Structure 1
Amino acid sequence: MPDWITQLSLPMPLQWGLGGVVVILIIATLTIALLAHRKPEKNWTELKLRVRTWWWIVAFFSLALLGNKTLAMLVFGLVSFLALKEFLTLSSTREADHVVLFWAYLTIPLQYYWIHITWYGMFIIFIPVYVYLFLPMRMVLIGETKGFLRAASSLQWAVMLTVFCISHLPALLILPETVGKGDIGTGAMLLFFVVALTQSNDVAQYLWGKSTGRRKVAPKVSPNKTLGGLLGGAATTTLIAWLIGPYLTPMSPLHCALAGLLIGITGFIGDIVISAVKRDIGVKDSGSLLPGHGGILDRLDSLTYTAPLFFHFVRYLYF
């Protein structure tokens, strides 16, 4: 039987996790349909679009969990490509640097190839060392110095966030394989854990901020972010991690709680960092790729921080 078919037999905790997400989406879909029927005078379009987009996101994400390693790399490689394209569309790239953009996009297949062949050493230094040094050098050879510093730093920062940071998500899939402690099922559960916790943290921070938030954390960057939202969201995420972590990860309950706290705090930081980028550019949403959500960066903002930090947290402790 082909490997990709045998890999469709997911660990039971992961089956329950995905099943729970599907149930939540079904409830949300039926609730919005009921509200629209009872109160047709209100505009429910945005909520409908958000839930519909979540169905597509969950289906797309499931491909990385249900398929083989190659399919997972293709899925996340496409995510990095779309995110990098969106970032570069927003940022200040010079016309003279269009040739250099080819090399920036080339980092995507190379970065995911290192993950695919489980070459951890190259995966972890390729972008922070080689790409960071190469891109400015290639820009210098063009001979245009006006706006060089802003253009170079924007390009480096774009590749760092959208390729290097996001690539830590599929790296979780092969993490057990790199050290011979577990299989792709273990990695898939780690991947589900960090993504589910990050998205839950976003929701919890929003709800806590709306109900108890008074003191603004960074009013000039993101006026809706409050201290109550940060603390309440981090506490909720910590509790959820403590409850479900022992079933989805090899971590102890204490380490699961610490991972939840890490995700809660750094998810907030990732959110406001991307908000600062959008504020600097002067846009509310990073794009319109995801109806009801905005751009792909609006959905990945928290993961740009939680993914690499959780990866190294669990790798240091257990792999």
Structure 2
Amino acid sequence: MILVVVTLLVTATAVTDLLARMRPDLKLDEIQIKIRSWWVMAGLFLFAVTVDNRLAYGLVGLICYLSLKEYFTIIPTTSADRGALFWAYLTVPIQFYWIASGWFMMAILFIPVYVFLILPARQILAGETTEFVARTARILWGVVLFVFSLSHLALFLSLGTVDGRAVGGRELLLYVVFLTEVNDVGSFLTGTSLGRHKISPKVSPNKTWEGFLGGLAVTVAGAVLLRFLTPFAVSRAAFAGLCIAIAGFFGDLCVSAVKRDVGVKDSGDFVPGHGGILDRVDSLTYTAPLFFHYVRYLYY
């Protein structure tokens, strides 16, 4: 696993450095900084995943907390939301308690059912009805996207090996995380060099059909090449790559729409070259849950 990740990062570094020398007009400074940041992030992630599940749970839990916190700093909130915000933050340790204890059903139902009912009730007790629906929906949406969806990264570690094969949850986790990033980089490079036809200029002006299709092609190819990390045959690996590319695209657009709505370019500057942490996990909010349930339905 470590060899695969290092090979991917070395390849990405070499390709972007070569393109930067050959085509300085492409202005690849941003993507080069992103890849350097990924060397650090990948090192931390690999260490946590390969050493101990508890470290991995802690790392993913920290990512969920920081993502939720960053989201709450950019959306409008009022003093009447304080109680609900407290309970929203509390969902992080509770959700990871269910995951770490192996209580899969509660990990899947806790936020979509119980938190969905509890947070509006807490908002009612605040006694403020002005924009009740909008205020409550903003908080709930953040919890679902940045706690529930991202916590699926930790749920991969609860999956055992598949039918006695040498691959299991850890390999599948690395598979989806790095294919998500391959899609991100592939879309950026092809969109920068070939992009002409914009997809949704009001939401994300830099997103083009050429970039989307380039990212999709690279991700499907990567999914097939890296299928030794999975129990997939070629067809299922290709379909997984297709789903990851499409889901990652919409996850990115979804967070872009939020930033556009509140009038910010980057959600923060937590990760050098990546903007805020939301700018780094946006695609994973869609790819992680989708891929998890795809794998679980087929093999567990």
TM-score w.r.t. the length of structure 1 is 0.86
CA drift of 1:101 comes to 1.4
Distance across 1 between alignment mates of 2:14 and 2:210: 28
User: Which residue number corresponds to residue 3 of structure 1?
Assistant: none
Q: Write the deviation string for residues 151-170 of structure 1: whole angstroms up to 9, x where unpaired.
A: 10010011011100100111
Distance of aligned partners of 1:213 and 1:27 in 2 relative to their CA distance in 1, 3 Å threshold: closer
The change in CA–CA distance for 1:176 and 1:62 in structure 2 (over 3 A counts) is same
Equivalent position to 2:194, from 212, 215, 218: 212
Deviation of 1:25 (Å): 6.9
1:215 partner SS: coil
Q: Is the 8 A contact 2:9 2:35 kept in 1?
A: no
Q: What's the CA shift for 1:205?
A: 1.0
Q: Which runs of no fewer than 5 residues in structure 2 stay unpaired?
A: none
1:46-65: CA deviation from partner (whole Å, max 9, x where unpaired): 66753442232112211332
- Note the alpha carbon deviations across 1:182-232, whole angstroms, 9 max, x for none: 699621110110011000001111122223322211111011111111122
**Residue of structure 2 equivalent to 1:115:** 99
- Structure 2 counterpart of 1:18, one-letter code: V
Query: Does the 8 Å contact 2:31/2:185 carry over to 1?
Result: no
Residue equivalent to 1:262: 243
Contact 1:251 1:318 in 2 (8 A): no
User: Structure 1: how far apart are the matches of 2:209 and 2:39?
Assistant: 31
Deviation at 1:67, TM superposition (A): 2.1
Relative to the length of structure 2, the TM-score reads: 0.91
Separation in 2 of the partners of 1:270 and 1:244? Answer: 23
5+ residue gaps, structure 1: 1-13
CA distance in 1, matches of 2:165, 2:294: 19
Whether the aligned pair in 2 keeps the contact of 1:92 and 1:150 (CA below 8 Å) is: no
- Contact 1:241/1:257 (CA < 8 Å) preserved in 2? yes
SS at 1:284's partner residue?
coil
Residues in 2 aligned to 1:227 and 1:185: alpha-carbon distance in whole angstroms? 35
Correspondence 1:227 to 2:209: yes
SS of residue matched to 1:176:
coil
- Answer yes or no: is the 8 Å Cα contact 1:28–1:51 preserved in 2: no
Q: In structure 2, do the counterparts of structure 1 residues 214 and 233 end up closer, same or farther at CA, with 3 Å as the change threshold?
A: same
**Contact 2:83/2:126 (CA < 8 Å) preserved in 1?**
no
**Residues paired across the two proteins, number:** 295
**1:27: how far off?**
4.5
* Aligned counterparts of 1:143 and 1:218: Cα–Cα separation in 2: 39
1:198 is matched with: 180
Counterpart CA distance in 1 for 2:215 and 2:29 is 27
Of 41, 62, 66, 2:50 maps to: 66
Residue pair 1:168, 1:308 contacting (<8 A) in 2 also? yes
> Cα distance 1:307–1:22, how it changes in 2: closer, same or farther (>3 A)?
same
Give 1:278-289 correspondences, 5 Å limit.
278-289=259-270
Q: Distance in 2 between matches of 1:184 and 1:107?
A: 34
Cα contact 2:83–2:122 (8 A) shared by 1: no
State whether structure 2 residue 299 is matched by structure 1 residue 318. Answer: yes
SS of 2:196's partner is coil
Residue 299, structure 1, aligned to residue 283, structure 2: no
Provide the aligned C-alpha RMSD in A: 2.4
The equivalent residue for 1:23 is: 10
Contact in 2 for aligned 1:65/1:72 (Cα 8 Å)? yes
